[in-house]
Amino acid sequence: MNSTTPPAPTGTAALLVNDAGQYLLHLRDANKPEICDAGTWSLIGGGPEPGESPYEAITRELWEEARLSIPDLVPFALLEDRQPDGVTKGHIQVYLGHWNGDAASLPLTEGIMLHWFDAHVMPRLTMCPWAEEVILQHRTGATSSARAVPRDGTQPAEQP
């Protein structure tokens, strides 16, 4: 048996899809170089606070950033967050959820705007690389090489 324990997530994100198959993207502030992926279209998310599970972190981030409560979030992928030079900065636990609301009506507290996009438009956007990767995985039905972390933050059981 050759199994490894996935790394602990250093960040979380929500991949939200509506009934039309569009993805909710978050335009991050370009004038704040201290934030991750400044000036790109990305997913709502953020890092866990001390003692917080990844699931608790993403539900808090959705509420803090856009007053969204998404009850059907499920672990989808665990991705590497890489710097432009390819060095891994950490790992992002992505949760998949469904929402059909009006993005423009959300009371956004971080970033520039939220907007629904059809997948065919995304190659024309300045995208955060890991967000673009996870959307491609979702569209193609692929799964990430690292297993997703369950809602309670525990590591998944080893598989043969």
Q: Residue 61 maps to which CATH number? A: 3.90.79.10
Q: Give the pLDDT score at 78.
A: 92
Residue 100 lies in a domain: yes
4 secondary structure, DSSP code: -
Question: Other C-beta atoms within 10 Å of 69: how many?
Answer: 10
Question: Which residue range(s) make up the domain with 84?
Answer: 11-140
Residue 65 lies in a domain: yes
pTM of the predicted structure, to 2 decimals: 0.81
Residue 63 lies in a domain: yes
Q: Give the pLDDT score at 147.
A: 43
Q: Tell the residue number behind the tokens 């250093």, with chain if given.
A: 10
In the chain, what are the helix, strand and coil shares in percent, each to the nearest 5? Answer: 20, 30, 50
Residue 68 lies in a domain: yes
Which two structure tokens, joined as six digits, stand for 25? 């993207």
Residue 1 lies in a domain: no
- Greatest CA separation for the chain: 50
Which two structure tokens, joined as six digits, stand for 139? 């569209």
The number of folded domains in the chain is 1
If the chain, 160 residues long, is cut into consecutive pieces of 10 residues, what is the mean pLDDT of each piece? 70 96 90 72 93 96 96 92 66 95 93 93 90 92 52 41
Residue 5 lies in a domain: no
Q: Give the pLDDT score at 21.
A: 95
Which two structure tokens, joined as six digits, stand for 26? 């978050």
Q: Give the pLDDT score at 158.
A: 37
Amino acid occupying residue 34? E
Residue 77 lies in a domain: yes
Amino acid occupying residue 48? P
Q: Give the pLDDT score at 51.
A: 93
Output b/e per residue, 129-149; b: 16+ Cβ within 10 A: bbbbbbbebbeeeeebebbbb
Using DSSP's 3-state secondary structure scheme, residue 120 falls into helix
